[in-house]
Amino acid sequence: MNIEILKLLETDSKMTVTDIAKMLGLDEAAVAADIKAMEEGKIICGYHTMIDWDKVAEEKVTALIEVKVTPQRGQGFDRIAERIYNFEEVNAVYLMAGAFDFTVILQGTSLKEVSRFVSEKLSTMEQIISTSTHFVLKKYKDHGIIFDVVKQDERLVIAP
Amino acid sequence: MRNPLSKTVVNIKPSGIRKFFDIVSEMPNAISLGVGEPDFDTPWHIREEGIYSLEKGRTFYTSNSGLLELREEICKWYKRKYNVDYDYRKEALLTVGGSEGIDIALRAMLDPGDEVIVPEPCYVSYVACVELAGGVPVSIPLKNENEFRLTKEELLAAVTDKTKVLILAFPSNPTGAIMTRKDLEPIADICKEKDIIVISDEIYSELTYGEEEHCTIGSLPDMKERTIIINGFSKAYAMTGWRLGYALAPALIAEQMTKIHQFAIMCAPTTSQYAAISAIKDGDKDIARMRESYDKRRHFLLATFKEMGLPCFEPKGAFYMFPCIKEFGLTSDEFATRLLEEEELAVVPGTAFGDCGEGFIRISYAYSIDELKEAMERLNNFIKRFRNK
């Protein structure tokens, strides 16, 4: 495992093995082998693209749902989490410390679709005590990336 | 009408960078690797502190030497990082950038005819500041084969009865060279033996790569009393536009520097001083993050130069590479001019930093990897065309 490789890929998953090797002063073959091993070990779980869907005509709704549950004997929260995260429309599930148990992030095409999911699929599970649904109005920053800010190099072109 | 100008000022050579600046500014597609400042924004917590100080109406002068709290933090920081003790009440002074510190240190010490040893290639202001202060600059041409470090022999050969000051600037702009404690020890011995005061410009102190951390000559035995440390916030915290530097000097010298500062400047910018408190108290992680990023770019350029067969010693500091271009049979100026005309890539000729920079160019890596990649393609095209002729 090489943390430096992970740091680079985390900010730019398109970075080539050649560039990574150069930037870290490592051998290309070694970097390729490291990445392969980290993929197989599920340290690297996927390569995604940050998209600002607000700029795309297609309707998208993101909801953040706070869920309170009764943990199951012998299985704690994991079994319930599994029942939730297996739904395709569920984007993320986090176990939380604090006033509620799970944060569920959901992506749908309309408010209607999201509310139907909550009322029909989520709330009906017997371990779920309550849900509280919040809708995202605008994304400013996600995964460390600030949307909509184009940075110009404002430095003097040549300076001592 | 009489000639209104001072001979001293008129005789100062204008900076060799100006010409390139004018050409590049007219070329919309040019890529420049000619910038000597970080590409990062000032970390937000520092900017926020500056904004807060304005909201609070802290818009007045500070004391001449600068905010007491900031001076105290600076001295604590230097003690913690580089093991030198300066008294924040009498031996620390906030300046307008490191540049002012160099200027007033020289003016505080020089009488007409005093010689100042300036190892070159070096930052563009030293020679001019020495001349403005009435001193005589004595240059030492540093050598590529020594990785542009100053050696004992070179220093000894330059010392005369009139030598008063040595300007030591490591990590170096433009070469990226550093000097370790071991390299500094023989230099310190000569300074003590020959009674030379050192102005140690450590503005790039936080940007060193690899095993060796920066060492200040002021931390060597009996050197504090003859060392003036110049540093600042520009490079470490990406704060160039805030114009804030500082000088740490023995009380005897600091007092006279403060006098010049008091009459010429009054005090360093107040907003910048408040922001800098946040920088020095909470900025270690920012420095680490930026240093890591520079180091990756440094590796990237080193590997790319190797592929191109462009000879360059491994620089371990600042954010510059200083490759040798002698094989192309052009002067540094010609090389840089043609590179700009033919490939629209701007670099700074080594001669902008002293005559001994002939045969070298300075490449700054304060740029994103994507920009560096595009720039290296252009440089490679230029070099290949030349070699194929």
Residue A1 predicted with pLDDT over 90:
no
Verify that B293 and B272 share a domain, yes or no. no
Check: CB of residue B134 under 8 Å from CB of residue B14.
Answer: no
CA nearest B40 in A: which residue? A153
- Please tell me the predicted confidence (pLDDT) of residue B185: 98
Residue at B332 is within a domain: yes
Residue by residue, DSSP assigns B122-191 as: --THHHHHHHHTT-EEEEEE--GGGTTPPPHHHHHHH--TTEEEEEE--SPTTT-----HHHHHHHHHHH
Verify that B276 and B307 share a domain, yes or no. no
Please say which residue of B230, B265, B282 terminates a domain.
Answer: B282
- Please tell me the predicted confidence (pLDDT) of residue A72: 81
Verify that B138 and B228 share a domain, yes or no. yes
Please say which residue of B265, B282, B299 terminates a domain.
Answer: B282
Residue at B330 is within a domain: yes
Verify that B185 and B247 share a domain, yes or no. yes
Residue at B222 is within a domain: yes
Verify that B260 and B375 share a domain, yes or no. no
Domain range enclosing B310: 7-42+285-388
Check: CB of residue B240 under 8 Å from CB of residue B234.
Answer: yes
Verify that B90 and B34 share a domain, yes or no. no
Verify that B248 and B297 share a domain, yes or no. no
Say if the Cβ atoms of A24 and B17 lie within 8 Å.
Answer: no
Residue at B170 is within a domain: yes
What does the block give as tokens for A86? 């297996």
The gap from C-alpha B220 to its chain's centroid, in whole angstroms, comes to 21
ipTM of the assembly?
A: 0.87
Residue at B131 is within a domain: yes
SS3 B201: strand
Residue at B378 is within a domain: yes
Span B342-356, average pLDDT: 96
Q: What is the CATH number of the domain that holds B57?
A: 3.40.640.10
Instruction: Give yes or no for A24 touching B (CB within 8 A).
Output: yes
Verify that B98 and B232 share a domain, yes or no. yes
Residue A6 with chain B: CB contacts under 8 Å:
none
Write the pLDDT tens digit of every residue in B267-280.
999 999 999 999 99
Verify that B294 and B275 share a domain, yes or no. no
Total CB pairs under 8 A between chain A and B: 56
Check: CB of residue A68 under 8 Å from CB of residue A101.
Answer: yes
Please say which residue of B226, B252, B282 terminates a domain.
Answer: B282
Verify that B137 and B267 share a domain, yes or no. yes
- Range in B14-23, B107-116, B234-243 with the lowest mean pLDDT: B14-23
Say if the Cβ atoms of B34 and A157 lie within 8 Å.
Answer: yes
Say which of A24, A159, A160 has its CB closest to residue B296: A24
Buried b / exposed e across B55-77, counting CB within 10 Å, b at 16+? Answer: eeeeeeebebbbbeebbbbbbeb
Q: What is the CATH number of the domain that holds B290?
A: 3.90.1150.10
pLDDT band at A145; cut points 50, 70, 90: confident
Verify that B182 and B251 share a domain, yes or no. yes
pLDDT band at B224; cut points 50, 70, 90: very high
Span A129-134, average pLDDT: 96
CA nearest A28 in B: which residue? B303
Domain count along chain B: 2
Residue B37 with chain A: CB contacts under 8 Å:
155, 159
Write the pLDDT tens digit of every residue in B125-159.
999 999 999 999 999 999 999 999 999 999 999 99
Residue at B324 is within a domain: yes
Verify that B171 and B119 share a domain, yes or no. yes
**Alpha-carbon gap: A24 to the closest alpha carbon of chain B (Å):** 6
The gap from C-alpha B55 to its chain's centroid, in whole angstroms, comes to 33
Instruction: Give yes or no for A30 touching B (CB within 8 A).
Output: no
Residue at B20 is within a domain: yes
Say if the Cβ atoms of B300 and A23 lie within 8 Å.
Answer: yes
Bridging pattern class, strands B345-346 and B31-32? parallel
- Please tell me the predicted confidence (pLDDT) of residue B265: 97
Say if the Cβ atoms of A158 and B17 lie within 8 Å.
Answer: yes
pLDDT band at B300; cut points 50, 70, 90: very high
